[in-house]
Amino acid sequence: MVRLVLVLGDQLSPGVAALKKADKTSDVVVMAEVMGEATYVQHHPKKIAFLFAAMRKFAAQLESDGWRVAYSRLEDAENGGSISSELLRRAEEFGTDEVLVTEPGEFRVISDLAELPLTATSFEDDRFIASHQDFQNWADGRKQLRMEYFYRDMRRKTGLMMEGDAPAGGQWNYDHDNRKPAPGSVDFNGPMRFTPDETVSEVLTLVAERFGDNFGDLAPFWFATDTGQARQHLAYWIRMGAPLFGDFQDAMMQDERFLYHGFVGAYINAGLLDPLEVCQAVEQAWKDGDIPINAAEGFIRQIIGWREYMRGIYFHEGPEYTSRNILEHDRKLPGLYWGKKTWMACVDHAVTQTKEEAYAHHIQRLMVTGNFALLAGIDPYEVHEWYLAVYADAYEWVEAPNVIGMSQFADGGIIASKPYISSGNYINKMSDYCKSCSYKIKDKTGPDACPFNLLYWHFLDRHRARFEGNPRMAQMYRVWDRMEADKRETVLKDAGAWLAKMDAGETV
């Protein structure tokens, strides 16, 4: 009997589990552009265009490899609008009720599929280094989960940068070499740009018509949309960008949106690049002497460490994870996240770049937009929905642990041992934003004071009961307590007044 083989928009890998189990002589691959997936958050138009174009090209590649593909375009009159309705329609069309599925990356989709009146066989997505069982085995019996120890296991499992049982170079982690502030200039001009071909151009027209009002600029569109292009970009970045990736991993610059970052997240998460392939290419460049150890180790750690760890936590914690809010933050997400004018140069740069590129690098996400939301006490669910919408690499399995856990501490410390908060000093040290800001980084109080300076103490003060006993935060409470009482009062008053202005919709 014919079986349907579901391939979702982020499963664009020829070796994805359900395809491996299928038979191209009899089974039918089902792929569908659907409003349900395109609107469950208001995705950035670039993200939708990237996925639709990549889906169309992947379907064409499968057909040329001999697969029968039932592909639904968004504009098809019969399109039922959801993955489930398209599967049911195809089941009827091909006279079958059997479906092979690769486990989706979001609980929302997993539960939709579970409710289908079809016989679905789900296979674990094995494009990851750690299976669910591997993560469970590692996590079982540990009082505290910490990425570093998980990462070492992933190094051992993959053999990446290992010399026998020991880490290459004698150290597991070169993070202390990866904290240089913004350099004077950058000699890498960012990701490889691709001119839209016919498929991409068609999709761009569709997305402009249907999703043109979403937050985010569709043009210029230059993303890679197939594996060949993504590999070209990877090779280019390894040669030109990777050597300094480590040094400036935590830096931020107003005129250098990509710095030395890899811009591979969207490609790996959609399935155009395999994470192990990417890491092996970087390891090879290090073996060949083309990139230093701190760059290679730092990059590989992000992928086999952080990326795998985040997925492990998402599935370990379950569907309720996104609604955690241990700090009881309930402020509405302010308009400045959607491009409303702000005088804060750092936030303005991060949001403008997000709007234009559907991309911001890690430190912008963590220490600018994330830090601000945490200090200001914004509802973490609203923060989560924003991140899920605006970045081309965002899927809940990786976005939620980063936002709810790492950035907003809403999970109470499962991912981060302390909140990632900073005053303006950190941003000033790591970026060139402050020099063009309307606020004054050196002012701690008063109308020109950097809001991060005000809100930092406001956060510590309002969460004193929870954090003063944390050994990693005790020093900051000592600094706060040593301040004159009237200065502390002024800081809190100024912070409260500033937040009230923001809540009232004033430009802040």
- Interacting residue ranges for ligand SF4, rule: CB under 6 A: 344-346, 424, 427-428, 433-434, 437, 439, 441, 450-452
- 44 vs 444, which CB is nearer to ligand FAD? 44
> Binds 407, which of ligand FAD, ligand DLZ, ligand SF4, none (CB < 5 to 8 A, cut-off by type)?
ligand FAD
- Contact of residue 109 among ligand FAD, ligand SF4, ligand DLZ, none (CB under 5-8 Å per partner type): ligand DLZ
CA–CA separation, 135 and 312 (whole Å): 6
Q: 358, 216 in Cβ contact below 8 A?
A: yes
CA angle, residues 298, 422, 216, in degrees to nearest 5: 75
Residue 12 or 450 with smaller CB distance to ligand SF4: 450
For the bound state, the minimum distance from the C-beta of residue 55 to ligand DLZ, rounded and expressed in Å, comes to 7
- Judged by beta carbon distances under 5 to 8 A according to partner kind, the member of ligand SF4, ligand FAD, ligand DLZ, none in contact with residue 154 is none
* Cβ at position 444, least distance to ligand FAD in Å: 27
Cα 111 from chain centroid (whole Å)? 22
Nearer to ligand SF4, 130 or 441 (CB): 441
State yes or no: residue 253 binds ligand FAD (CB under 6 A): no
Beta partners for residue 123, in sequence order:
102
Q: Nearest 5 degrees, angle CA 124-CA 128-CA 133?
A: 55
Map residue 193 onto helix, strand or coil. coil
Q: How far is the CB of 83 from ligand DLZ (least distance, A)?
A: 6
User: Residue 431: beta bridge partners?
Assistant: 252
Distance, in Å, from the CA atom of 191 to the CA atom of 222, rounded to the nearest integer, reads 9
Nearer to ligand FAD, 3 or 261 (CB): 261
User: Any idea which residue has 């460049």 for tokens?
Assistant: 285
Among 372, 391, 439, 452, binds ligand FAD (CB under 6 A): 391
**Binding to ligand FAD (CB under 6 A): which residues in 267-296?**
268-269
Question: Which residue number, 4 or 508, has a Cβ lying nearer to ligand SF4?
Answer: 508
Q: How far is the CB of 432 from ligand SF4 (least distance, A)?
A: 9
Nearest residue (CB) to ligand DLZ, 216 versus 419: 216
21 neighbors 123 (Cβ within 8 angstroms): yes
Q: What minimum distance in Å lies between the beta carbon of 265 and ligand FAD?
A: 3
Structure tokens at 282: 């970087």
**By C-beta, is 299 or 456 nearer to ligand FAD?**
299
d(CA 277, CA 290): 17
Using the rule CB under 6 A, is 307 a contact of ligand FAD?
A: yes
- Residue 190, both tokens: 């960012």
Shortest distance, CB of residue 55 to ligand SF4, whole angstroms?
Answer: 39
Instruction: Decide if residue 188 touches ligand FAD (CB under 6 A).
Output: no
User: Which residue in 103, 139, 133 sits closest to 120, CA to CA?
Assistant: 103
User: Which residue in 112, 85, 165, 128 sits closest to 315, CA to CA?
Assistant: 128
Count of C-beta atoms within a 10 Å radius of residue 387 = 25
Quick check: 403 binds ligand FAD (CB under 6 A)?
yes
Does 180 interact with ligand FAD (rule: CB under 6 A)?
no
| Cα–Cα distance measured from residue 144 to residue 135, given in angstroms and rounded to the nearest whole number | 14
Q: How far is the CB of 111 from ligand DLZ (least distance, A)?
A: 12
**CA-closest candidate to residue 373, choices 342, 411, 309, 329:** 329
Q: Using CB under 6 A, list all residues that contact ligand DLZ.
A: 8-10, 32-34, 37-38, 43, 48, 51, 83, 104-106, 109, 395
Task: Decide if 357 contacts 222 (C-beta within 8 A).
Answer: no
The binder of 150, among ligand DLZ, ligand FAD, ligand SF4, none, by C-beta within 5 to 8 A per type, is: none
Quick one: 58 or 391, whose CB is closer to ligand FAD? Answer: 391
| Residue nearer to ligand DLZ on the CB measure, 38 or 62 | 38
**What tokens does 106 get?**
């979001």
Phi, psi values for residue 72, rounded to 5°: -100, 125
Instruction: Write the CB contacts of 238 (distance below 8 Å, at least 6 apart in sequence).
Output: 281, 282, 285, 290, 291
What's the distance, CA 487 to chain centroid? 39
The answer to whether 392 and 44 are in contact (CB under 8 A) is yes
Q: Which does 104 bind (CB under 5 to 8 A by kind): ligand DLZ, ligand SF4, ligand FAD, none?
A: ligand DLZ
Beta strands in 59-148 (DSSP E): 68-72, 98-102, 119-123
Cβ closer to ligand SF4: 469 or 496?
496
451 binds, among ligand SF4, ligand DLZ, ligand FAD, none (CB under 5 to 8 A by kind): ligand SF4
Q: What is the total count of residues that contact ligand FAD (CB under 6 A)?
A: 28
Single out the residue of 11, 229, 371, 402 in contact with ligand FAD (rule: CB under 6 A).
Answer: 402
Contact 72, 34 (CB under 8 A): yes
Q: What distance separates the 2 farthest-apart alpha carbons in the chain?
A: 79
Cβ distance to ligand DLZ smaller for residue 10 or 411: 10
Contact residues toward ligand FAD (CB under 6 A) are 261-265, 268-269, 299, 302-303, 306-307, 310, 361-362, 365-366, 370, 387, 391, 393-394, 398-399, 402-403, 406-407
